[in-house]
Amino acid sequence: MIRQPEFLKTPEHPNYPEYGFAIEVQGEQHDHCIEFFHRRDSNNFIKQQARDQLKKELCEENWIVLRYVWYYEDPYIVIPEHLQELGLIE
């Protein structure tokens, strides 16, 4: 039975445990401090980075390849590239 790890159980993190990978869309708030998301507190940005790092480490520990689509990238280009790199499509 394939189970989805708790740390990936959110709708904004498409994941495919049967293939061993997850895709996370990274908004600007993952790249730099943004007033709206971090409530005017740069410590909240640091906490965001720590959560991102923890998710990355948990994925590695659970043999899940975590790939990102950044806010400045075209997901229609980047996602197929990731899938090709993983050997899931030609």
pLDDT of residue 14: 57
Per-residue pLDDT reduced to its tens digit, 14-70: 556 677 888 888 988 888 877 777 777 788 888 888 888 988 888 888 888 999 999
Cα gap 45→37, rounded to integer Å = 8
Position 3 scores a pLDDT of: 47
pLDDT range class, residue 13, cuts 50, 70, 90: low
Burial of 73 (0-12, 13-18, 19+ CB in 10 A): middle
Angle (nearest 5°) at CA 45 between 35 and 60? 140
Annotated domain spans of the chain: 35-90
Q: What pTM did the predictor assign?
A: 0.72
Residue 6 is predicted with a pLDDT of: 66
